[in-house]
Amino acid sequence: MVAPTLQDTAYFLGIYFVIYWIIFAAAYLLAYLAPRQTPRPKPGGSEQLLPSSRIVFANRMCSITHAIIAVYCFTNVVLVKLPDMNTSSRWFLPLDYLQESDPTYHWVVPILVAYAAADTVYMFIWEMDMIFVYHHLAVIIGVLPLHLCEHGWMMAVVATVLAEFTNPLQNTRQYAYDFGFDTINKVLYVPFMLIFTSFRGFIMPTVLIDYFIFIFLESHSNDPSIQFSLSCMKLCWLIFAAGCLGSLIWLKDAVAEFVGSFKKAKIV
């Protein structure tokens, strides 16, 4: 098998990057069918508000569309590759994360990288959310080398499925909260907390341990291409671990708020 070339990678990234902004423009125009909403002030007394509801709606539609496409495409790749199993007794999928790059699927990982690049541009220009900017840049730094290696791309594929699975519900609920659609926010709040807690609080940490066992504890070939791929996987693991830790910190506060609101409602 042959690793993706820089030319092919640039080609796919360019196409997906343009598609992001086409979806953004279409969603922005679609948002004119609804009245413009005033964003809710940010917590902590910050005077900086979100951009207009139409701009934010366009971005969230890009994010949701990306998540649906990524989960569908990447899940199909995982199902196709499941027969290529690793016999070790790890915790999650018995996949060989060092299986060779497959030219049939060289178009897959650029979906994630191009989205991260396009959303970085959006966040930097409109919302000025530097946490998201750094998050997306970290994803690019971690995932792009895996895509270009001869081995290791399956690590990015599996992680993307799990990371993006909660995205549509999360973005819909957050948009409803930010722009005062209280009924929608209340309806989605409990399902969002249950699904997000399951994935970010339990499944993804389990997968992170699974990656660690495979990358750091199992024995692998001394072939230079495999050793280089392992080095890229170690860097990616550190980035994923930092992201998982951030999710757990956010989740801790969100669960505390959820339990507090539930107790308050029960008292009332």
pLDDT digits (tens, 9 = 90+) for 7-47: 999 999 999 999 999 999 999 999 988 777 777 666 554 54
CB contact burial 21-36 (16+ within 10 A = b; e otherwise):
eebbeebbeebeeeee
184 in a structural domain: yes
Higher pLDDT, 230 or 43: 230
128 in a structural domain: yes
76 in a structural domain: yes
Per-residue pLDDT at 195: 93
Per-residue pLDDT at 19: 98
186 in a structural domain: yes
156 in a structural domain: yes
Where does the pLDDT of residue 84 fall: very low under 50, low under 70, confident under 90, or very high at 90 and above? Answer: low
Question: What's the domain range around 169?
Answer: 6-38+47-267
* Nearest-angstrom CA–CA distance, 173 and 61: 13
How many folded domains does the chain comprise? 1
* Nearest-angstrom CA–CA distance, 119 and 139: 12
Question: 56-70, 74-88, 125-139, 197-211 — which is least confidently predicted?
Answer: 74-88
151 in a structural domain: yes
Where does the pLDDT of residue 223 fall: very low under 50, low under 70, confident under 90, or very high at 90 and above? Answer: very high
Amino acid occupying residue 264: K
What count of other Cβ atoms lies within 10 Å of the Cβ of residue 160? 26
Question: 10-24, 52-66, 176-190, 223-237 — which is least confidently predicted?
Answer: 176-190
pLDDT at 247 exceeding the cut of 90: no
Tell me the helices (H) and strands (E) count for the chain, helix number first.
Answer: 9, 0
1 in a structural domain: no
* Nearest-angstrom CA–CA distance, 224 and 230: 10
pTM: 0.89
* Dihedral sign for Cα atoms in the order 240, 241, 242, 246: positive
Are 216 and 241 in contact, with CB atoms under 8 Å apart? no
What count of other Cβ atoms lies within 10 Å of the Cβ of residue 225? 15
185 in a structural domain: yes
Per-residue pLDDT at 90: 66
Per-residue pLDDT at 198: 92
* Nearest-angstrom CA–CA distance, 140 and 120: 10
Q: What is the pLDDT of residues 90-131, one digit of tens each?
A: 667 777 888 899 999 999 999 999 999 999 999 999 999 899
The tokens describing 55, both together, are 């701009």
